[in-house]
Amino acid sequence: MNPTRGILIAGNWKMNHDQAATRAFAQALKSGLSKSMSEKVQALVFPPMLSLEVAKREFAGTRVRVGAQNVHFEEKGAYTGEVSGGMLKEIGITTTLVGHSERRQYFGETDASVKKRAESHLAQGFEVVLCYGETRAEREAGQTEKVLERQLREGLPSEWNARLVLAYEPVWAIGTGLTASPEQAEEAHAFSRKFLVSRYGAENAARTKILYGGSVTPENVHGLLSQPNVDGGLVGGASLKPEGFLALLNSAGSFF
Ligand code: PGA
């Protein structure tokens, strides 16, 4: 973590928590949220589409932002099954998630479509959390930096934007319990930061948060956040229970 950039803890609920579960989560979280939580710690959740409105309503007046897991790049049209940014803005959604490995793996998203989405969402005023990361086979073949370089070169928006957040998520660590060590995470994050310098200049690169994701838990988050280029976590499984999410926020708060 870096005191100027602060820390962002984001919960990716994936296809979990219907409206009733979302309400229960929010109510439990609100009762535990510390009013004195440092402004440097930001909280964000990505509920499934049909739970967004409930989440938005329940978190009104708190510092928990609500984001959508999948948003199309076009503003309207013949895209059966898709949802546009405008529809999400109408219910107060501030943030979009782009390029998650599950979207790449199961729904055919590519670096090119990730870039299209990111640029469109940023232009529409959203904060965008853009995910990338290597598979186990790529890491074992010594290809990690090559893959990250390609994903960043082809997937990042052409222009820097203050609302852009990166999330390095090694695919082998997602949902497996195999967290990257703090040193492995830092290595990839420092590499990504260097790429950001070459793409957007040193000042913009220094302002961009890079989250780590992949089996983050309340137990290992402190070690990860202790690294200079790890600016937060994108957390799946451990973010689903309010007490887990609170523990993550409290651990982040201990740095300030
Ligand atoms: P996990 O998921 O924390 O359950 O590994 C992280 C993610 O997919 O964003």
**Residue 111: per-residue pLDDT:** 98
Give the total number of structural domains in the chain. 1
Per-position b or e across 17-50, b if 16+ CB within 10 A of its CB? bebeebbebbeebeeebeeebeebbbbbbbbbee
CA distance 152 to 210: 12
24 falls within a domain:
no
Instruction: Give the binding-site residues of ligand 1, using a 6 Å CB cut-off.
Output: 12, 169, 174-175, 213-216, 234-238
Do strands 64-68 and 164-168 pair parallel, antiparallel, or not at all (unpaired)? Answer: unpaired
35 falls within a domain:
no
63 falls within a domain:
yes
Band of the pLDDT at 54, cuts 50, 70, 90? very high
pTM here is 0.98
Range of the structural domain that residue 130 is part of: 41-253
- Would you give the DSSP letter of residue 96? E
- Would you give the DSSP letter of residue 51? G
> In the block, which residue shows the tokens 């420092």?
190
**Residue 34: per-residue pLDDT:** 81
Phi–psi pair at 161, nearest 5 degrees: -145, 140
220 falls within a domain:
yes
Residue among 119, 127, 169, 186 flagged as catalytic: 169
Q: Does residue 222 have an active-site annotation?
A: no
Token pair for residue 1? 């973590």
Residue pair 207/169 in contact (Cβ under 8 Å)? The answer is no
Residue among 100, 109, 138, 186 flagged as catalytic: 100
22 falls within a domain:
no
Q: How far is CA 135 from CA 11, 141, 188, 208, in A?
A: 21, 10, 13, 24
CA distance 247 to 240: 12
Band of the pLDDT at 36, cuts 50, 70, 90? confident
**Residue 51: per-residue pLDDT:** 98
Q: How far is CA 55 from CA 19, 100, 237, in A?
A: 8, 21, 18
26 falls within a domain:
no
Q: What is the CATH number of the domain that holds 216?
A: 3.20.20.70
Largest CA distance in the chain: 48
Q: Does residue 100 have an active-site annotation?
A: yes
13 falls within a domain:
no
CA of 138 relative to ligand 1 center, distance in Å: 19
